[in-house]
């Protein structure tokens, strides 16, 4: 009897201890969870250093195959920016160019509302002069200028070219000698087809020439027997020239003999000192499609947290870490863009109180060339309200360009900001890096790095500021997009 009573007491005591333990553990978990809804950030860590530190190269690129270093066009890691402070656009210019890019993306996705019929205005392309005159100014692809660049090799012998990489366009092009009409100033020597033994023109009556209509939005022209392409990017940026083939060298072992590209004879616009553009869209003429046999339409990249660091662009399935989670691409709606489903957004751990239809109505894309993420108006208003509440202790500052929620943080070395996370289809949650939450104009003006779309039916765009430091994996053949943390 006594032992029974004793063991009853003992087990009650154990139970009590256990309950205490769980209560304590639960409490501890709660505080941890609350803490993890904020980032403590040094303002200086969001600003680029004046010198380049390629830390991510050793972390990401060096051990991977088929990998190119990704550099911000205007940062200290870019040779294109060196000695050329005049060609470096201000943040204000970058943000207003960003709006032009977004406007042109919306126009491409909603073609019925776009009154410019590009195909008809450019069907007669017998000479390059007329071609230029006919280019519509407003519609078409817009470049923006917050762009990242990679270097590839073209021709035999191989010449190195620094190109803007752009998931929002398809045709790869570079400026070409003899620059029949005009070339802007670029850093690399301008590609010279006559000195490349592997170069050839694409003829007007080839199937490849007719693919240009979809890839550029303009019907091809014909100069004697050579196919002529024309592509415009809004902001009066454009490239027009011969449609060509030559050997593309990604790395020493990754060589593509008959790569189709534009050999630009008339080029103008916001290309900085780059040699042109690398198109990573989903169209058959993009580099993704043209290298499908080797890389199976698989590529990934990481954009560094500041422009004084480097990231990487990897073609093929190399070195994808296990922490990457995949969301399915949604239907492409016949464009070159990569559509994804945004399901919800949380600020400081609180899911924004908006209906699922807000994101469903508009749909969403991921874009490497849009700087600031665009949200449906209701989503942005809800985000801003929660963000302001959680930032209430900091003094506010006037709006800057397209950014309307700014703080004067000049009195602070470190600040505590709410976390922001996106949930994509398939329940893939992505926590943004602090560099994807704030844009630092200067210490006395630090702004929330999001903008509302003008119309609820405009597509949401997950832009490159928000992609910083993430490993972003495009498995185009597999129909899915992956996100991992700590990509560079
Ligand atoms: C390519 O076509 C252009 C225009 O017809 C011509 O001027 C050029 O010489 C051609 N290049 C080659 C290598 O055939
Ligand atoms: C910060 O930037 C704003 C906007 O360009 C400007 O008005 C202000 O004078 C700047 N402040 C400092 C301390 O540079």
pLDDT at 352: 97
Degrees, nearest 5: CA angle 105-154-226: 75
Q: How confident is the model at residue 85 (pLDDT cuts 50, 70, 90)?
A: low
Q: What per-residue confidence (pLDDT) applies to 54?
A: 73
- For residue 11, the number of C-alpha atoms closer than 13 Å in the C-beta half-sphere is 5
Q: Is the CB of 467 under 6 A from ligand 1?
A: no
Decide: 418 and 348 in contact? Cβ < 8 Å. yes
Q: Which of 188, 235, 254, 367 is catalytic?
A: 367
Residue 319 pLDDT:
76
120 has a pLDDT exceeding 60? no
Backbone angles phi, psi at 90, to 5 degrees: -75, 165
User: What does the pLDDT read at residue 126?
Assistant: 37
pLDDT for residue 83: 55
- Is 455 noted as a catalytic residue in this protein? no
Q: Ligand 2 centre from 441 Cα, in Å?
A: 7
Nearest by Cα to 131 from 17, 38, 231: 231
Q: Which whole-number Å values give the CA distances from 409 to 42, 412, 415, in the listed order?
A: 11, 5, 8
State in Å: Cα 418 to ligand 2 middle: 24
Mean pLDDT of 472-483: 97
What pLDDT score was predicted for residue 125?
Answer: 35
C-beta of residue 250 within 8 angstroms of C-beta of residue 257: no
Give yes or no for residue 124 having a pLDDT over 80. Answer: no
Q: What is the mean pLDDT of residues 465-484?
A: 96
| pLDDT at residue 123 tops 50 | no
Q: What fold characterizes domain 52-313?
A: Cathepsin D, subunit A; domain 1 (2.40.70)
Phi then psi dihedrals of residue 388, to 5 deg? -60, -40
Ramachandran angles phi, psi of 62, nearest 5°? -60, -40
Residue 178: left if φ>0, alpha if ψ -120 to 50, beta else—which one? alpha
Least confidently predicted of 7-16, 49-58, 129-138, 301-310: 129-138
Q: For residue 225, which atom of ligand 1 is closest to its CA?
A: 5
β-pairing, 428-431 with 325-328? unpaired
Distance 447 CA to ligand 2 centre (A): 12
CA distances from 99 to 102, 144, 156, 453, 460 (A): 5, 8, 39, 10, 13
Q: What does residue 132 show for φ and ψ, rounded to 5 degrees?
A: -65, -40
Q: Is 135 exposed, middle or buried (0-12, 13-18, 19+ CB in 10 A)?
A: buried
When mean pLDDT is compared across 94-108, 271-285, 397-411, 422-436, the lowest value belongs to 94-108
> 321-484 sits in which CATH class?
mainly beta
Please say if the pLDDT value at position 139 is more than 60.
no
Q: pLDDT grade, residue 471 (50/70/90)?
A: very high
DSSP 3-state helix, strand, coil percentages of the chain (rounded to 5)?
25, 35, 40
**Burial of 155 (C-beta count, 10 Å sphere; 0-12/13-18/19+):** buried
**pLDDT score of 55:** 55
pTM, to two decimals:
0.86
CA of residue 290 to ligand 1 center, whole Å: 23
Find out whether the beta carbon of 428 lies less than 6 Å from any atom of ligand 1. Answer: no
Do residues 170 and 370 touch, judged by C-beta distance below 8 A? Answer: no
Under the banding of pLDDT at 50, 70 and 90, the label for residue 230 is very high
CA of 46 to the centre of ligand 2 (A): 16
pLDDT band of residue 81 (cuts 50, 70, 90) is: low
Which two three-digit tokens encode residue 45?
């860590």
Running DSSP on this structure, what letter comes out for residue 359?
H
Mean pLDDT calculated for residue range 250-260? 95
Segment 162-215, tens digit of pLDDT: 999 899 999 999 999 999 999 999 999 999 999 999 999 999 999 999 999 999
Kindly list the distances between the CA atom of residue 317 and the CA atoms of 66, 329, 360, in Å, as whole numbers in the listed order: 9, 18, 31
Atom nearest to 410 CA in ligand 2: 13
242 lines ligand 1 (CB under 6 A): yes
pLDDT tens digits along 20-38: 444 444 333 344 445 579 9
Span from the CA of 306 to the centroid of ligand 2 (angstroms)? 20
pLDDT per position as a tens digit, 422-469: 999 999 999 999 999 999 998 899 999 999 999 999 999 999 999 999
From 444, 446, 447, the mutation candidate for ligand 2 (largest count of ligand atoms within 8 A of CB) is 444
The strand ranges marked E within 52-119 are: 67-72
Check if the beta carbon of residue 231 is closer than 8 Å to that of residue 173: yes
Q: Is 367 a catalytic site residue?
A: yes
Structure-block tokens of residue 270: 């916001």
Residue that has been written with the tokens 């609350």 in this structure: 34
| Residue with more model confidence, 104 or 438 | 438
Inform me whether the pLDDT recorded for 46 exceeds 90: no
Edge-to-edge strands, sheet with 338-340: 338-340, 364-366, 460-462, 373-375, 450-452
Q: What is the pLDDT of residue 281?
A: 95
Q: What is the CA radius of gyration of the chain?
A: 25
Q: Whose CA is nearest to atom 8 of ligand 2?
A: 444
* Pocket lining: 365 vs ligand 2, CB cutoff 6 Å: no
- Give the single-character DSSP code of 65: S
Ligand 1 mutation pick, 193, 209, 225, 226, max ligand atoms within 8 A of CB? 226
Pocket test for ligand 1, best of 196, 199, 201 (most atoms within 8 A of CB): 201
Q: Where in the chain is the domain with CATH 2.40.70.10?
A: 52-313, 321-484
Contacts of 319 (CB under 8 A, 6+ apart): 60, 63, 64, 65, 67
Considering only the C-alpha atoms of the chain, give the largest distance between any 2 of them, rounded to a whole number of Å.
109
pLDDT at 136 over 80: no
Q: Decide if 393 contacts 353 (C-beta within 8 A).
A: no
270 pLDDT band, cuts 50/70/90, is: confident
pLDDT tens-digit profile of 350-401? 999 999 999 999 899 999 989 999 999 999 999 999 999 999 999 999 999 9
Nearest to 335 by CA among 286, 264, 263, 369: 286
Q: Is the previous residue joined to 483 through a cis bond, with omega within 30 degrees of 0? A: no
Our answer on whether the CB atom of 351 is closer than 6 Å to any ligand 2 atom is no
Between residues 235 and 215, which one has the greater pLDDT? 215
pLDDT at 121 over 60: no
In whole angstroms, give the CA distance from residue 219 to residue 345.
Answer: 41
For residue 483, the cross-strand partners are 325, 472
Torsion of CA 306, 309, 315, 320, to 10 degrees: -80
């Amino acid at each position: 009897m006594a032992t029974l009573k004793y063991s009853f007491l003992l087990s009650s005591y154990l139970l009590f201890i256990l309950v205490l333990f769980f209560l304590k553990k639960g409490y501890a978990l709660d505080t941890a969870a609350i803490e993890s809804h904020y980032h403590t950030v040094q303002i200086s860590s969001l600003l680029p250093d004046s010198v380049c530190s390629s830390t991510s190269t050793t972390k990401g690129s060096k051990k991977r195959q088929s990998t190119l270093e990704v550099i911000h066009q205007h940062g200290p890691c870019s040779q294109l920016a060196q000695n050329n402070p005049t060609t470096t656009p201000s943040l204000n210019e970058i943000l207003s160019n960003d709006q032009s890019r977004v406007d042109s993306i919306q126009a491409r996705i909603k073609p019925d509302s776009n009154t410019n019929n590009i195909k008809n205005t450019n069907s007669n392309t017998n000479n390059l002069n007329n071609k230029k005159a006919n280019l519509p100014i407003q519609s078409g692809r817009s470049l923006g200028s917050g762009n990242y660049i990679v270097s590839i090799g073209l021709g035999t012998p191989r010449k190195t070219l620094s190109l803007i990489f752009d998931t929002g366009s398809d045709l790869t092009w570079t400026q070409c000698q003899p620059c029949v009409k005009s070339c802007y100033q670029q850093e690399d020597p301008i590609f010279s087809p006559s000195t490349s033994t592997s170069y050839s023109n694409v003829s007007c009556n080839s199937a490849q020439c007719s693919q240009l209509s979809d890839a550029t939005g303009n019907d091809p022209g014909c100069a004697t027997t050579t196919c002529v392409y024309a592509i415009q990017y809004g902001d009066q940026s454009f490239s027009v020239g011969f449609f060509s083939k030559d050997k593309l060298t990604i790395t020493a072992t990754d060589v593509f003999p008959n790569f189709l590209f534009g050999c630009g004879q008339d080029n103008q616009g916001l290309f900085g000192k780059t040699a042109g553009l690398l198109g990573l869209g989903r169209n058959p003429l993009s580099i993704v499609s043209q290298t499908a046999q080797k890389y199976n339409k698989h590529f990934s990249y990481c954009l560094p947290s500041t422009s004084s660091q480097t990231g990487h662009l990897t073609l093929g399935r190399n070195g994808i870490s296990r922490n990457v989670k995949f969301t399915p691409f949604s239907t492409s709606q016949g464009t070159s863009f990569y559509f994804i489903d945004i399901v919800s957004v949380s600020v400081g751990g609180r899911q924004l109180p908006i209906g699922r239809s807000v994101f469903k109505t508009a749909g969403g894309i991921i874009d490497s060339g849009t700087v600031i993420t665009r949200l449906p108006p209701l989503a942005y208003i809800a985000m801003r309200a929660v963000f302001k509440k959680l930032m209430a202790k900091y003094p506010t500052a006037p709006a800057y360009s397209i950014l309307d929620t700014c703080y004067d943080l000049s009195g602070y070395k470190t600040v505590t900001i709410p976390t922001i996370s996106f949930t994509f289809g398939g329940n893939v949650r992505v926590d943004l890096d602090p560099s994807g939450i704030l844009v630092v104009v200067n210490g006395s003006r630090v702004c929330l790095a999001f903008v509302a779309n003008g119309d609820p039916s405009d597509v949401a765009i997950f832009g490159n500021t928000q992609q910083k430091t993430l490993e972003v994996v495009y498995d185009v053949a597999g129909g899915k997009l992956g996100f991992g943390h700590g990509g560079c």
